């Protein structure tokens, strides 16, 4: 039996944070019902396509059910309220106040189902001056100081390559708090309203910078700090064939092994990070990446080649662990690897092939 088997989840969310949250819940056995407008989740229209919908939608919504509902129709709202009466979890991602105007806000639905764990995922939370401000992932990262930490030596920040606010700030805190809410309900029989702010939840990811600032007044800057490019022990070095090495020999034992491997033990006691960094860069630039891969093989140096995503998914380590062994299929039988989630393998269903739902595929089954 899966941990969330028998748990019914109503998913009103679209795009990324909410759908990824309910994907994790579905992987753990929850029955997830996706409530969509007539033209469906916007992500269905993205490209490239996998079957009739976008591959983005297929990856994030496999194993769920889909119903089409006009949330402006009083009759439909009554049907949704009947579903809510039977549900354990509700996930929504509208701006604050939208669900209230639809008659589906927490105060209203708690009267229908006081055991409901109601999760609201927004950019800036349900309260505060920014609660209704339109923004996207990069805005949240910029406004919390995260983009600023990506700056190079000249202070120029870079565009974040990962949707950190959506996932680390939205999806994962939502899943964690939903599980905590269910655990609380197991004890006292009462649900709760979870206010998940993607911006708020970025701050724990920068714990070291906050600590440095609060305790010593040393507020970090991009390009200058231990993990932002200021140290030769946490650095990207370019090889002679224009490839790159990720070198992170932070601890003394790794640092000593690293300097020995590159033949530069004389740098061990030089207290000039810029000089040491430049010296190492000059040495690494003398040989191609294959030379360095062989040189560091089997040594504890915390060094590896910087590779692309295509090469990463083919890496023998991840293949051996079965990271991409589960599949997602289309009605015609086409298949690609399913998006791996952080749900442990011991909690996953035994079957490995799943589909994402067609728009409104389960409307009649569920509503009628």
Report pLDDT digits (tens) over 34-83: 999 999 999 999 999 999 999 999 999 999 999 999 999 999 999 999 99
Q: Which helix (H) or strand (E) holds 53?
A: strand 53-54
Residue 293, in any domain of the structure: yes
Q: Are residues 167 and 263 in the same domain?
A: no
Q: Are residues 127 and 22 in the same domain?
A: yes
Please identify which of the residues 31, 41, 166, 200 carries the catalytic annotation. Answer: 166
Q: Are residues 44 and 146 in the same domain?
A: yes
Residue numbers of the domain that contains 307: 235-311
Residue 71, in any domain of the structure: yes
The three-state (H, E, C) secondary structure of 92-140, written as one string = ECCCCCHHHHCCCCHHHHHHHCCCCEEEEEECCCCCCCCCCCCCCHHHH
Q: Are residues 48 and 117 in the same domain?
A: yes
Instruction: Quote the CA–CA distance of 281 and 252 in Å, as a whole number.
Output: 19
Nearest Cα to Cα of residue 302 among 239, 247, 231: 247
Instruction: Quote the CA–CA distance of 143 and 78 in Å, as a whole number.
Output: 40
Q: Are residues 30 and 136 in the same domain?
A: yes
Residue 256, in any domain of the structure: yes
Residue 139, in any domain of the structure: yes
DSSP string covering 161-175: SS-HIIIIIIIHHHH
Residue 67, in any domain of the structure: yes
Distance of CA 174 to the CA centre of its chain: 11
Instruction: Quote the CA–CA distance of 38 and 70 in Å, as a whole number.
Output: 7
When divided into structural domains, the chain yields a total of 2
pTM of the predicted protein model: 0.95
What pLDDT score was predicted for residue 76? 95
Q: Are residues 91 and 137 in the same domain?
A: yes
Instruction: Quote the CA–CA distance of 249 and 226 in Å, as a whole number.
Output: 11
Q: Give the residues of the chain that fall short of pLDDT 50.
A: none
Q: Are residues 280 and 304 in the same domain?
A: yes
Which CATH number belongs to the domain containing residue 288 in this structure?
3.30.1540.10
What pLDDT score was predicted for residue 123? 98
Q: Are residues 138 and 278 in the same domain?
A: no
Residue 108, in any domain of the structure: yes
What pLDDT score was predicted for residue 298? 96
Q: Are residues 31 and 149 in the same domain?
A: yes
Q: Are residues 177 and 286 in the same domain?
A: no
Asked about 193 being catalytic, the answer comes back as no
Which CATH number belongs to the domain containing residue 166 in this structure?
3.40.50.10540
Last residue of one domain, picked from the residues 311, 333, 349: 311
Please identify which of the residues 132, 136, 152, 353 carries the catalytic annotation. Answer: 136
Residue 82, in any domain of the structure: yes
Residue 206, in any domain of the structure: no
Q: At what angle do helices 172-188 and 17-27 cross, to 10 degrees?
A: 50
Q: Are residues 55 and 117 in the same domain?
A: yes
What pLDDT score was predicted for residue 126? 98
Q: Are residues 108 and 38 in the same domain?
A: yes
Asked about 39 being catalytic, the answer comes back as no
């Amino acid at each position: 039996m899966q941990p969330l088997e028998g748990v019914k989840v109503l998913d009103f969310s679209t795009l990324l944070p909410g759908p990824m949250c309910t994907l994790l819940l579905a992987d753990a056995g929850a029955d997830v019902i996706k409530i969509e407008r007539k033209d469906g989740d916007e992500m269905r229209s993205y490209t490239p396509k996998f079957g009739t919908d976008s591959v983005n939608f297929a990856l994030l919504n496999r194993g769920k059910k889909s119903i089409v509902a006009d949330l402006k129709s009083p009759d439909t709202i009554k049907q949704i309220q009947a579903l809510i009466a039977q549900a354990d979890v509700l996930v929504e991602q509208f701006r604050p106040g939208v669900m209230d105007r639809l008659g589906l806000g927490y105060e209203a639905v708690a009267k229908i189902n006081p055991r409901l764990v109601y999760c609201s995922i927004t950019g800036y939370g349900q309260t505060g001056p920014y609660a209704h401000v339109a923004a996207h992932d990069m805005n949240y990262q910029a406004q919390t100081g995260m983009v600023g930490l990506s700056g190079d030596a000249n202070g120029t920040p870079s565009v974040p390559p990962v949707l950190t606010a959506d996932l680390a700030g939205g999806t994962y805190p939502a899943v964690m708090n939903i599980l905590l809410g269910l655990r609380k309900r197991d004890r006292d029989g009462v649900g709760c309203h979870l206010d998940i702010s993607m911006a708020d939840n970025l701050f724990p990811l920068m714990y070291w910078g906050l600590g440095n600032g609060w305790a010593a007044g040393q507020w970090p800057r991009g390009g200058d700090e231990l993990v932002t490019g200021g140290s030769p022990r946490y650095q990207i070095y370019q090889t002679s064939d224009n490839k790159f090495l990720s070198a992170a020999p932070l601890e003394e034992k790794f640092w000593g092994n690293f300097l020995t491997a590159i033949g530069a033990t004389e740098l061990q006691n030089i207290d000039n990070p810029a000089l040491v960094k430049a010296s190492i860069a000059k040495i690494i630039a003398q040989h191609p990446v294959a030379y360095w891969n062989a040189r560091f093989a089997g040594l504890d140096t915390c060094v590896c080649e910087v590779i692309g995503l295509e090469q990463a998914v083919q890496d023998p380590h991840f293949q051996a662990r079965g990271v991409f062994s589960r599949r997602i299929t289309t009605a015609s039988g086409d298949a690609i690897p399913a998006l791996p989630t952080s749900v442990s393998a011991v909690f996953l269903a035994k079957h490995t092939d799943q589909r994402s739902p067609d728009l409104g595929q389960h409307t009649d089954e569920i509503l009628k």
